[in-house]
Amino acid sequence: MSDAQQRLLELAEERGSSLSGLSRLIGRNATYLQQFIRKGSPKKLEEEDRRVLAEFFGVPESELGGREENSYAAPVKAAKSDWVDVPRLPLGASAGPGAIAQEEAPFDSFRFSRRWLREQGLDAAMLSAIAVEGDSMEPLLRHGDEILVDRTPRPLRDGIHVLRVGESLLVKRVAQSVPGRVTLLSQNLAYPPVEVDLDDVDVIGRVVWKGGRL
């Protein structure tokens, strides 16, 4: 394993970012960076891919195989225009019996490519990141995964959402059943479906991205 491959793996583990998520960040297929690290294909990162990853991690490009003079020293204006900081909230969206909602002041942020968000049809101002707690959404979402929640107001449709039921914050697959009621589904079949009145559910937003350790 080359120094660049080893360093990229270390940075991903430190940030808690998946290689598949990072591959999508640079506009590649989900296995691209895993192939780069495990099989050495490609032999080195392309310049634009290296630049995006270096800026995401806040490290010099030289750590990822670039020349020393290509270090992460982009003008502040360029960095601000190319990247968006999405707040990380100190909340745990329970994929189990239910977490109690806590204070929602950001404690950190994830940096995303503005271009990537635009390609996904996402408005940065309507995004926030929180952690998953519990195992009821495994294997899709695991305990400790970070999820990106799109709070853009839209008509409710089937999909994975973060929602509040009482004081509990949940992440569940939401399926509409009879009028006025929805079914909350877990990915882990050990957890039975739960049907609730729509009036008892506050839909926070739709889950549009996940990241976590391999």
User: What structural domains does the chain harbor?
Assistant: 3-73 (1.10.260.40), 81-211 (2.10.109.10)
Q: How far is CA 193 from CA 95, 141, 174, 185, 200, in A?
A: 13, 17, 10, 5, 16
pTM: 0.59
Average pLDDT over residues 51-74: 73
Q: What is the pLDDT of residue 180?
A: 86
How do residues 75-112 score in pLDDT, each as one tens digit? 334 444 688 889 888 766 655 544 434 446 788 888 89
Q: Is the dihedral of CA 8, 9, 14, 19 positive or negative?
A: positive
17 falls in which pLDDT band (50, 70, 90)? confident
Share the mean pLDDT of the chain: 83
Q: Quick count: other Cβ atoms within 10 Å of Cβ 82? A: 15
The yes-or-no verdict on residue 73 having pLDDT over 70 is: no
Mean pLDDT to the nearest integer, 144-167: 89
Please tell me the distance from the alpha carbon of residue 108 to that of residue 114, in angstroms, as a whole number: 18
pLDDT of residue 24: 85
Q: Are 156 and 170 in contact (CB under 8 A)?
A: no
Amino acid 173: pLDDT? 93
When pLDDT is averaged across residues 40-64 and rounded to a whole number, the result is 88
Whether residue 148 has pLDDT greater than 90: yes
pLDDT above 70 for 30: yes
pLDDT of residue 107: 81
